[in-house]
Structures are given as C-alpha cells and as structure tokens.
Amino acid sequence: MKKQAHSAGGFSLVELLIGTILFTIITGIAFSLLMSAQLRYQGESSVTQAFQQANVALDQIVRDVHSAGYPPANSFAAGIALNNPNLVALPFSWSPGYTNTPPTPCTVGVSCGAVPGDYDLIVETDLGNGVQWIRYSLQGTTLMRGMVLKAPFVDPVGSTTGSLVPYLDNVMNGNSSLPIFTYTFDNTTPPPPSQPSYIREVNITLIVQSAHPDPQTQQYRTITLTGQAVRFNPNQ
C-alpha cells in the first residue's frame, strides 16, 4: 500500500523545498545579473551620450577652424580691407589691441589676455552671410558658443559675450587645469612671432563628464577627446 501511494506521483515535501530553494537562488542570480546589466546600461548610456555630444562639438570646432580666415585680405583690392575690416576675416580675433587701425597684434599666452587662450577662442570666417565671429568660451563647466557678424573697429570679445549660449555641458578641463585649446604656429624660417595671425593648428582637448553618476560606483565618468584642426587659409 505504501509503495502504491508513493508511486502514485507528486513530490515529497523535501523535493519541493529543494526545488523552491534552487529556483529562488537561480532566479535571484538571474535578476541580480539583469539588474547589474541594467545599471551598466544606464551608466554606459550616459557616457555614450556625453561622448556623442562632445564629438559633435569637436567636429564643429574643427570645421570652423578649417575655414578660419575666409575671405582673406587678398580677396579685395588694396585699401578696401584696411578701411572695411569687417569684410575681411583674420583667422582668429584677439584682445586687446584689436580695435587699433591697423590692429596691434598680441602674443598668445603673454599679452593676448584670455583670447585666444586656453579656454577661449574666436574664429573669423564667412559661412555665407558675411564674416562672423564664432566664439568658444568655457564658463564654469559649460563650453559656450556664440556667433555674431563681425563689426568694424569694435572689440570682438565684448561683441560676442552677449551671443554665447551653452553648447556642451560638463566640460571638466577647467577643473583639471588642462587647456581646451593649444596652438601651433606657422613653421617658417625664421619662425614667426606667436601671434594669432600665425596660428596654423588648433589642438583641441575636451574632457567631458557624464551627466549622471555611474549607478554602480556612484562615480562620474569622464572621457577625453582630442582633435587637431588646421587652418587652410593663407597668412595675410
């Protein structure tokens, strides 16, 4: 009789207990894996988004520098450029001394002040609607960008300040004391002075922090992008 009852089917209490425990353990492991993957995904998404935004910003800076100095003074008859400086694009603006006639060049890193500097750059180029000042300026942890039409005999720094709008967030170069912009000058014999007009390459380094901390480590993650932009327009 006992044998018949046992063979009639079903699990014993012990079997059910073992099965339940195993199911719970495996399910727990699976869910913890899923949770871990989800957190990893969130963290990576945040980094990827920061990477994408930084990439777009880097690409735009490179494009602007490529066309810096268009149109140059040689595009005009003599005298036109001197009397109408707003028609001509110097490759890069500076301050102070820019409003003099002709502008008094400064030395980058010495007498140029902040522009062009480690965290501030003004490109001059014509994108189709006249020569514009295109300024990139790091303010806190936000890289700002602004565009205004170049005006004659006015200071480019003051003129562009009001046009700056946030362009890239969470830029940590300031905190790291690592310049966004460094400059390489023309390679001629004898070497030219380190003046904005002789900047040939702008080396760009962007340290960007993710918008959200990593859910697992609770630490903000940073990525570093570097780029090199060559000015193709000739010296003036």
Partner 1 sequence: MVIALFTLMLISVVATALILMAGTETALKGNYKSAMQSFYDAKAGLEEGRGRLWARNPNSIASCLLPGGGAMMPLGQVCYILNPSPGEVVNPQDLSPANPYADNEYLAEWNTTAIPSGASYSTVISNSPIASANIAGPLYKWVRITPRTEFSGNIDVDGINGIDRLNPLFFDGMQQLLSTNGVPVPAASQVLTITALAVTPYGSRRMVQYTVALAGAAAALANVPSALTLDGSGVSFTGPSGGTGGRNGNGNFQIVGNDVNAPPGTQSGIPAIGYTNSSDGPSVSMAATPSGNYLSPAGVPNVGIVSLPPILQTPGGLQTLVNSITQSADLVLSPSPGTAADQNSLPSAMSASNPMIVVVNGDFNLHGTGTGYGLLLVTGTLDYDPDASWNGVILVIGQGTFTSSRRGVGVINGAVLVAQTRDASGNLLANLGYSSFTQTGGGNGIQYSSSWVKATQALMTYQVLSFREIPLATP
Which residues here bind partner 1, judged by CB under 8 A? Answer: 22-23, 26-27, 30-31, 33-34, 37-38, 40-41, 44-45, 48, 51-52, 55, 59, 63, 66-67, 69-80, 83-84, 87, 125-128, 188-190, 232-235
SS3 220: coil
Tell me which residue of 196, 202, 142, 195 sits closest to 173, measured CA to CA. Answer: 142
- For partner 1, give the closer residue by CB, 16 or 33: 33
Closer residue to partner 1, CB minimum distance, 73 or 148: 73
In sequence order, the 6+-apart residues with CB closer than 8 A to the CB of 192 are: 185, 186, 198
Work out how close the CB of 146 gets to partner 1 at its nearest, in angstroms, rounded to a whole number. 18
Exposed / middle / buried, residue 198 (Cβ in 10 Å: 0-12, 13-18, 19+): buried
> Is residue 122 a contact partner of residue 93, using CB atoms and an 8 Å limit?
yes
Structure tokens at 121: 């750059």
Q: Which CB sits closer to partner 1, 35 or 114?
A: 35
Pick the closer one to partner 1 by CB: 6 or 63. Answer: 63
Q: Which is nearer to partner 1, 54 or 157 (CB)?
A: 54
CB of 91 to partner 1, least distance (A): 11
For the CB of residue 95, give the shortest distance to partner 1 in the complex, in Å.
Answer: 24
Q: What are phi and psi of 64, to 5 degrees?
A: -65, -40
Burial label for 235, CB within 10 Å (0-12, 13-18, 19+), is: middle
Residue 196 C-beta: closest distance to partner 1, Å: 18
Residue type, 55: N
Q: How far is the CB of 5 from partner 1 (least distance, A)?
A: 27
Residue with smaller CB distance to partner 1, 176 or 232: 232
Q: Which residues contact 77 (CB under 8 A, 6 or more apart)?
A: none
Cis bond upstream, residue 192 (ω within 30): no
* Residue keyed to tokens 């945040």: 46
Shortest CB 158 distance to partner 1, Å: 27
